[in-house]
Structure 1
Amino acid sequence: MMTTTDRPEPSRDEVAAVAALGEDYRRLRAEIGKVIIGQDHVIDELLTGFFARGHVLLVGVPGLAKTLLVSTVARILSLSFRRIQFTPDMMPSDITGTDILQDDPETGRRRFSFIAGPIFANIVLADEINRTPPKTQAALLEAMQERHVTAGGSSYPLPNPFFVLATQNPIEQEGTYPLPEAQLDRFMLNVTVPYPTAAEELEILRRTTGDETQETAVTLSAEQIVALQHLVRRVPVPEHVFIYARDLVRASRPNEPEASVMVRRCVSWGAGPRAGQSLILAAKARAVLQGRLHAGIADIRHVAKPVLRHRIVTTFHAEADGIDSDKVIEQLLQDIAAPPERAVERNSRL
């Protein structure tokens, strides 16, 4: 496997592209800040998932501006946006679209035409995904994975870029269909949305109860975003960072020799290989958004919770003791030592 020390010097275009992305990111954050008050870590993790080309699950109680945040990001990035409110009676075709029989005005004959569903947008907000039955959830998740929709024997590609943000309400469980662990694994990040601080809540009251509206400027086009997503994929990762991500994931599995006593007692299922891939990709995105030319151990540690929290299933005894997946991850970060760092060139090949 090629490490960063094996790569030649980056080109001037690549260095300039990383610097430009860092500047675009700062402008994007400034525009979002005109509308969204606080929630800095939520915005950072949402944009990390977006530029890493991964989908995000957003968990929080109602009224925390989750929908407003997503629609604001879509508007600032000049992308098409659709919101799907999931309900128990929703069918898969209500999301993906369906074939309907229409008259052909030229021939007078009838033919089937595909009517695209709301999933055909750059950014899709799947609101309260746990309120719809598994059959409809599966239709959405299949489209997320394959990035196309199949109807009537034909495949229809989804727009590029394509980003799904699904929300779950953690306080109302009656009449819901929680996503199985295998389907949760399709999401790169699981982001928790906390209540605002006292100062932030006061500013929310001041800013949102008047007649003024904040105007935001467009910062990036769809073509620029796709190019930046490819740039993130080319960010190099040193060998010791790959090893650290692997060790972190393997230590979360209770049957592995690397597992600690706490993991063996508190975890019934640990994270799979897709978690390691998500750790690396999210770390790459975080690094390049900050204008750096390679990802490091600090990036892995920073994204560990949103990447792993929905991929670690705790036992009944752990839940009874008040130990959730976040506490398990905190212990993993304390227990797993970073491997010896190899020499990393200051300018690494993207």
Structure 2
Amino acid sequence: MTVAEEVPSNTHGEVLRQALAEVKRVIVGQEHMVERLLVALLARGHCLLEGVPGVAKTLAASTLATVVGGSFARIQFTPDLVPSDIVGTRVFHPSSEKFDVELGPVFVNFLLADEINRAPAKVQSALLEVMAERQVTLAGKTHPLPAPFVVLATQNPIESEGVYPLPEVQRDRFLFKVRISHPDAREELEILHRMSVKPPRPEVVLDPEKLIELQELAEQVSVHQLVADYVVRLVMATRAPAEYGLEELADTIEIGVSPRATLGLVAAGRALALLRGRDYLLPDDVRDVAVDVMGHRLMLTFDALADGVDPDEVVRRILAAVPPPLVVWNQGPR
């Protein structure tokens, strides 16, 4: 069955394929990253991109924001950043002899937090309210952020000076953490051909109102009870691995994933199903997003960290040990 045959709405399916194609017209390769960025938008989730310099993290985020439409701001996080630099502050005007609130750059639809791990703890705390509540409190008054709102953050894993590792509570606020590697030789050659002349400019495909409509459509994707049970079993396997035949992980996992992982698996799976042209969730959708949803939420033991255990590999072992259900959807005659 082709994607075109599965699409429940030709209009929605076409516009999502067009948005993906427009981003890929600028970004060479990195198809997993591009797809996850769009899935995060559809699922109303924030996305953390981790990779070495020069692998198009910032370009991908800014390109997607252009394609989707809406307002966009980029904040370059630095060690001397203070909370008022991002959320705003009160400013005294001598002419009126009163304080006015000046809103910060976070009041946009798409916020690119570049090198987010360079900001100190106070800035990260201010960003927590922005990400979790989608609002900012200034001078005792709450200011809601525009809808839709999403944080696309980047971080460099190889830096050791002037960086502040993200606290667990903030990592938990990200729906996805996507690791990005170097392109292969074929993609490197294509980058040379495409970007050494006049680089392609993305065109606007969506708008905020259309994106909200697609987000609501993603929330209506059907979830079978067996698939919901599978999601719960995957999550519980991180908390009590011995009960799922994974006794060897008992000394590896300190704390399993939070309930946000359960909600994130379903939300991301629904968005991926919509992107693939379906109005129902399959176990394969959940399995495809599981590593990006659960890996950064796992807390490993000290010994596991010392041994260099990769949390993503732990999630893959859980996926291999917890069998998915066989779900047959009655789609009716074609």
| TM-score range relative to shorter protein | over 0.9
CA distance in 2, matches of 1:170, 1:237: 36
Which SS does the other structure have where 1:309 is aligned? helix
Structure 1 residues 64-79: aligned runs within 5 Å: 64-79=55-70
Query: Deviation per CA, 1:278-315, whole angstroms, max 9, x where unpaired?
Result: 00000000001111010110000000010011011222
Who is 2:3 aligned against?
none
Q: Identify the match of residue 110 of structure 2 among 109, 113, 123.
A: 123
Q: Using the TM superposition, name which of 254-263 and 113-122 deviates more.
A: 254-263
CA distance in 1, matches of 2:245, 2:237: 5
**1:50 aligned partner, one-letter code:** L
Deviation at 1:122, TM superposition (A): 0.7
CA distance in 2, matches of 1:213, 1:311: 37
Deviation at 1:216, TM superposition (A): 2.5
Who is 1:98 aligned against?
89
Who is 2:26 aligned against?
35
Deviation at 1:217, TM superposition (A): 2.0
CA contact (8 A) 1:58 1:191 kept: yes
Which SS does the other structure have where 1:82 is aligned? strand
CA distance in 2, matches of 1:118, 1:303: 31
CA contact (8 A) 1:122 1:159 kept: yes
Deviation at 1:37, TM superposition (A): 0.5
Determine if the alignment matches structure 1 residue 264 to structure 2 residue 262: no
Deviation at 1:67, TM superposition (A): 1.0
Who is 1:335 aligned against?
321
**1:345 aligned partner, one-letter code:** N
Who is 1:196 aligned against?
183
Deviation at 1:237, TM superposition (A): 0.4
Which SS does the other structure have where 2:92 is aligned? strand
Identity of aligned residues (%): 45
Deviation at 1:268, TM superposition (A): 1.2
Q: Identify the match of residue 246 of structure 1 among 227, 232, 254.
A: 232
CA distance in 2, matches of 1:223, 1:34: 24
Who is 1:3 aligned against?
none
CA contact (8 A) 1:18 1:292 kept: no
Which aligned segments of 4 or more residues in structure 1 are displaced greater than 3 angstroms?
15-19, 254-259, 319-322
Q: Identify the match of residue 172 of structure 1 among 142, 148, 159.
A: 159
Who is 1:81 aligned against?
72
Who is 1:138 aligned against?
125
Which ranges in structure 2 are unaligned for 5 or more consecutive residues? 1-5
CA contact (8 A) 2:8 2:277 kept: no
CA contact (8 A) 1:93 1:117 kept: yes
Deviation at 1:214, TM superposition (A): 1.4
Which ranges in structure 1 are unaligned for 5 or more consecutive residues? 1-14
CA distance in 2, matches of 1:335, 1:259: 7
CA contact (8 A) 1:278 1:307 kept: yes
Determine if the alignment matches structure 1 residue 159 to structure 2 residue 146: yes
CA contact (8 A) 1:56 1:188 kept: yes
Structure 1 residues 188-337: aligned runs within 5 Å: 188-210=175-197, 212-254=198-240, 257-258=243-244, 260-337=246-323
Who is 1:21 aligned against?
12
Who is 1:6 aligned against?
none
CA contact (8 A) 2:26 2:63 kept: yes
Deviation at 1:230, TM superposition (A): 1.1
Deviation at 1:16, TM superposition (A): 8.2
Which SS does the other structure have where 2:222 is aligned? coil
Deviation at 1:344, TM superposition (A): 2.7
CA distance in 1, matches of 2:163, 2:245: 33
CA distance in 2, matches of 1:164, 1:21: 24
CA contact (8 A) 2:78 2:119 kept: yes
Q: Using the TM superposition, name which of 310-319 and 201-210 deviates more.
A: 310-319
**1:338 aligned partner, one-letter code:** P
CA distance in 2, matches of 1:113, 1:321: 53
Which SS does the other structure have where 2:296 is aligned? coil
CA contact (8 A) 1:254 1:267 kept: no
**2:329 aligned partner, one-letter code:** V
CA contact (8 A) 2:28 2:191 kept: yes
Query: Deviation per CA, 1:187-236, whole angstroms, max 9, x where unpaired?
Result: 011111111011001111222222x1313321111111111111111111
How has the CA–CA distance of structure 1 residues 117 and 268 changed in structure 2, closer, same or farther, with 3 Å as cutoff? Answer: same
Deviation at 1:28, TM superposition (A): 0.9
**1:326 aligned partner, one-letter code:** D
